[in-house]
Every structure is written in C-alpha cells, then in structure tokens.
Amino acid sequence: MIKNILNRTAITVFSIASTYLTAQEKNSISEVWTADQGKNFRNPILYADYSDPDVIRVGDDYYMTASSFNEAPGLPILHSKDMVNWKLVNYALPDVLPHEHFSTPKRGDGVWAPSIRFHQGEFYIYWGDPDFGIYRVKTKDPLGAWEKPVLVMEGKGLIDSCPFWDEDGSAYLVHGWAGSRAGVKSLLSINKMNSEGTKVLDKGVHVFDGHDAHPTVEGPKLYKRNGYYYIFAPAGGVATGWQLVLRSKNIYGPYEEKIVLEQGSTKINGPHQGAWVDTPSGEDWFYHFQDVDTYGRIVHLQPMKWEKDWPVMGIDTDKNGIGEPVSSYKKPNVGKSYPIVTPPETDEFDGEKLNLQWQWSANENIVWSSQLPGQKFLRLFSMKVPEGEKNLWNVPQFINPKIPGSEFYSINES
C-alpha cells in the first residue's frame, strides 16, 4: 500500500502500479456495476458521475457527453451501439479555457451542461461556462481531435446551451441562466446564430419564465417534431425536481407546458436533465441523471412514447398523467445484441499516456507526473502545496477517476 504522506514540504517521489486493464486496447467490464442484464437493463445505466448527460444517435451509433466542470481533460465522449453498454472513447476538450484561469482547481466552475449535436456531417458540442460564456467545439470524427473552442457568446451567467438548426437553415441557441453570476435564474432564452454556429446575432429573447410554477428551470434541449418546437428542461432543483416539456408551433413561443416525469413513489430523486433519443426501429427513449450526493450524478434510461404530441416518460403508475422512473426495463430494440462494456475502472499504466478514466483537478502540468513506455507505473511528483492551503482537494496535481458505484474497492501497489 502507499504509505507516503504528502504535506507542504514533502519531496518524496512515489509510484503507483495497479492490476488494471488497458482501456484503449480492450473493452472493460466493471466488477462493481453493469446495467446489461441480458434481455433487460437496470438503472442506472452508468453508475458514475456523468452529470448533465446529452446523447445523440448518428446512424447505428450513440454518443454521449457530460459536464466535466474544472476537470481536465474535459467533455468526455462515450460511445454505445445499444444505448445500455457505454465505452469511454475520448475527450473533446484537452484543456479547460481560459487555460491560465483553470491552471488551479476551480471546483464546480468550467464546463456546465453540454449539448452534443450532429449537423451536416460534423459533430458539435456547446456548453456554458458561468463565468465566461458559451463555447463550441466541433469535429468530423468524435474519436479523433476536436477543433479548438470558439467563444460563441460572451457573458456571465450564460449556461446550459443547446444549438438547433431548423429546416430552412436558420440556427438558434437556447440557454439558461445562473443566478449566482447573472443575478437571475429560472429563465430560458433563445438567440439567433449564424449558420456556422460560431456567434449569436442578437441580444436574445426570453421564451419561458419558470419563477411561478417551475423554479430553477434549466438545462434546455431544443427539438422539433410534427411541426412543434419542443424544449425539454428540468425544474424544481437538482435533487428534488421534475422533467418539464414545453411545446409551441413558433420557436419563440408562446409555449405550452407539461410535467412529464417525476420521482413519485420511486427512489429515483430528481429526475434531472438529459436527452431524448430514438432508435432506427422507431422507439423513443430518455436519458437523465439522478443526484446521489457523494457519488455524483448517475445516468438513467427511461422508455418514452408520444401521446397527443406530448412525450410520456417512464411508467405512469398512479395514472396522474406524469411518468415515474423505472428501475429496470426491457432493452432498446436496436436490431441485434452487443457485448457488455463499461467505462474503464482499472489501469496497468503500461502505455505511453494515461488511460481515459483519469482526470486532473486543473489543466495538466507536465512536471506533475511521468509515464514511460515499458515501466508499467505512473510516477507522481510531490509538489509544494499552495501557500496557506490545508485541503488537498484544492491542489491542482490531484488526479482521480470517477467513483464506479455505491460499493467498490481500490487496490494500489507501490
């Protein structure tokens, strides 16, 4: 076991080696939690902190991203063929911007509630940084390099952004507001964008005010179906809220409103923001997260259907017109079966770089660690803690994976 104790003046060098798989070379299967139960699945789909998940389907492939806040690399990219088994395949953001600002931990800041979209052969991700504005990255290959971020809309309190391209080519951006920075929240607003999606063209229009019935409405996702514009947005708070859906024949409203998913009698609190996704066979599904305190925000999958042009999520067990989350259900019909795979939890450190599960608390500095081919260990260098700092949580050279479940074990060898 590692016995070294780090303190402000420590100069000890230590290395870690673990009996781990190499995620880049083979699929990993969790020893803690797997959602795939054969013909059925169980929730959560991902028992790890993939906060504010957004998902799209491109052909027969599904891609997910999630909030990464101050951690680097950021914007995780996960891939699935069956909506249940997910593999961590990439990050869209090598460093969090502005680079110098995030050279030290800014806990809870940074990348908030991203949206991933596919438009004219390219993948786009938009996200809001509550202190700097709304950014965008794009690529033709989600497993490859993503272009450098573009600041689409500068300002404080701009969060939870989602792009939308209409049939006539018009581009829009819907977003929420962070009360801690903007001084106001519970509002959803829409801006017109240029067709490239690189900048907004106007000051924006408020399209929904949730102060009376839906406080803290946020995380909007904009879709179009059967002539209706839909905004899927959670309200009521991360741990205590519900899923709200708005619809209108005009993108600027007025919008009708309906609560479509709530905790009800289940143990799945929230349920908070996520994504509507369909299958090639015509099924509809909804991803969302559940806040579980220390373990983060874990990802659930709910069946979804349409009634009178309103989505119905989960199962309406009490017949009040509002769905409740399921704990298990039959797997989506994607035409065939696929092997079980989960995000990696282990690492032998036998490659030329860290496996994908590792993230730093700030933008990485090359002097923090060393990993050479053939060594089969990662060497971490002890650094002087910032003056006056008493909590290692606020030290930038803090590296960690996600907690893989409510019960797990850790083995480290030195």
User: Domain-by-domain residue ranges, the chain?
Assistant: 1-32+346-414, 36-330
Token couple for 156: 């404080």
pLDDT for 407: 76
Confidence at residue 334, expressed as pLDDT on a 0 to 100 scale: 97
**pLDDT the model gives residue 24:** 42
Cβ proximity of 157 and 130 under 8 Å: yes
> What beta strand segments (E) does 17-169 contain?
36-37, 40-42, 54-58, 61-65, 74-80, 87-93, 112-119, 122-129, 133-139, 150-154, 158-165
Residue 180 gets which letter from DSSP? H
Residue 404, pLDDT score: 85
Q: What's the confidence (pLDDT) of residue 5?
A: 26
Residue with tokens 């899923």: 243
pLDDT at res. 120: 98
CB-based contact 63:75 (threshold 8 Å): no
Q: Are strands 274-278 and 284-291 parallel, antiparallel or unpaired?
A: antiparallel
> Is the Cα dihedral 234, 134, 192, 92 positive or negative?
negative
Structure tokens at 204: 């924006």
With beta carbons less than 8 A apart as the criterion, state whether 243 and 231 touch: no
Question: Which residues does the annotation mark as catalytic?
Answer: 52, 218
Strand partners, 302: 286
Which pLDDT score, from 0 to 100, does residue 414 have? Answer: 61
Question: By the 8 A CB rule, do 291 and 238 touch?
Answer: yes
CB under 8 Å to 342, separation ≥6 — which residues? 28, 29, 30, 33, 34, 46, 85, 86, 87
Model pTM score:
0.92
Token pair 């874990």 in the structure block, residue: 298
Q: Tokens representing 20?
A: 């781990």
Cβ contact 11:382 at 8 Å:
yes
Overall CATH class of domain 36-330: mainly beta
Cα dihedral value 247, 249, 254, 255, nearest 10: 0
Q: What is the pLDDT along the chain (414 residues), one digit of tens a residue?
A: 222 222 322 222 223 333 222 334 468 999 899 999 999 999 999 999 999 999 999 999 999 999 999 999 999 999 999 999 999 999 999 999 999 999 999 999 999 999 999 999 999 999 999 999 999 999 999 999 999 999 999 999 999 999 999 999 999 999 999 999 999 999 999 999 999 999 999 999 999 999 999 999 999 999 999 999 999 999 999 999 999 999 999 999 999 999 999 999 999 999 999 999 999 999 999 999 999 998 899 999 999 999 999 999 999 999 999 999 999 999 999 999 999 999 999 888 887 788 999 999 999 999 999 988 888 888 999 888 888 888 888 889 889 999 888 777 776 666
Residue whose C-alpha is closest to residue 114's, from 79, 64, 149:
64
For residues 134 and 173, is the Cβ–Cβ distance under 8 A?
yes
Q: What whole-number distance in Å separates Cα of residue 79 and Cα of residue 81?
A: 7
Looking from the CA of 99 toward its CB, the CA atoms found within 13 Å total 7
- pLDDT for 220: 99
Strand order in 378-381's β-sheet?
13-16, 378-381, 369-370
Contact 325, 263 (CB under 8 A): yes
